[in-house]
Amino acid sequence: MISSIQITGYRGLDQLNMSDLGRVNLLVGTNNSGKTSVLEAIEILTSKGDPARIWQITFRRGERVTTLLPAIPGTPNDKAPRLHVEGDICHLFTGHEIHPGKRFSIAASNETPKRSVDLEIIELSPKERVEAMTLSASPDELVSNLAITITGHPPPPSSRMLLSRVGGISPEHIVFPRGGASGSSDTQFITTESISRDRLLSFWSKVALKPEEELVLQALRFLDKDIERIAPVAPSLPNVYAPSRGGFIIKRASSEQPVPIGSMGDGMWRMLAMSIAITLCKGGTLLVDEIDTGLHYTVMSSMWKLIFNAAKQFDVQVFATTHSYDCIYSLAQLADESDAKNPITVQRLERGRSEAVPFSEQELVIAAEREIEVR
């Protein structure tokens, strides 16, 4: 597990150190204090700077740049310009700018050798730029004279990302090693919108008819104790609008008619996503932004118990964010029952401060008992 982490130059975090981390870690702080940025930094670190992950991060935030490229002769639309969408990389660096020498780094200390990843903007030599242009899908899709180098320990799956003329990255500009990007399946990131329908359906095949399926049902029963079973369903019609939530039906004891999971509310989808995701990152990391989204305060204690027990069972380290006092208080109740080998912490982030303020289990319990504000 990661016991401490240092982030330099990532997004709005000029310098941030977090220490005394535990099995379950809840990040709190005001809006724009960097909570989501910390989750992203951990994702970049645990995936060893995988360019595919960096691409996903920019797209999750809607950080995209679009350019019009000339039409390709001989295609059905050979007279219409092509819209090309790329990830806008500049927002990953403090100051929202890129130039040679601009960099960010993330390093962690844990029980095994240290882990680190470092990304830096470099200027390509004329020869390197010519070589880079040959990697573009189209001669018109010229790369710039800038690239991002990726170094670290363990070694990253790719050592370089090429930037386009508008400072973006696209699959054509990412230099992958032979065999493609390695991708780290033992790190799962759950956004405030949870996990998409298609992605969750692909995850389900890995837990169906296995002991992990019972964990998923247990999580859903926190919200509705009558739930008996859950099953995936194929769309009834091809090529129709696919909602972001759906693809599953739920059987309740009180009714013979299964109901779509979309009829059960946001909390049900949230619990489904978290319970499946934590079983998939054995020995890895679960990252959850606004963990209490869609959940009523009365189920917070049950939710935390499920997360904590599953984290111990599957050897997962959890990092989550919240603005909810009920979420913090429920975690404090669980902290009073936790053991020294699997500590629980709250980390408070403050804008402009380089050190997160950690609350240990004992301090968290005292703060909750005395109603001391830790958000």
DSSP string for residues in 257-290: S-EEGGGG-HHHHHHHHHHHHHHH-TTSEEEESS
Give the β-pairing of 259-260 and 2-10: unpaired
Res 370 pLDDT > 60: no
Domains in the chain, start-ordered, CATH in brackets? 48-173 (no CATH), 187-369 (3.40.50.300)
Beta-ladder partners of 108: 5, 115
Q: Which of 55-59, 246-250, 357-361 has the lowest mean pLDDT?
A: 357-361
Q: Read off the pLDDT band of 233 (50, 70, 90).
A: confident
- Percentage of residues in the chain having pLDDT higher than 70: 81
Mean pLDDT of 134-153: 73
- Percentage of residues in the chain having pLDDT higher than 90: 51
Q: Read off the pLDDT band of 332 (50, 70, 90).
A: confident
Q: How far apart are CA 10 and CA 293, in angstroms?
A: 26
Q: How far apart are CA 243 and CA 201, in angstroms?
A: 13
Mean pLDDT of 128-135: 72
Selection from 62-66, 215-219, 351-355 with the highest mean pLDDT: 215-219
Rg of the chain on CA atoms, in Å: 22
Judge contact between 348 and 374, C-beta under 8 A.
yes
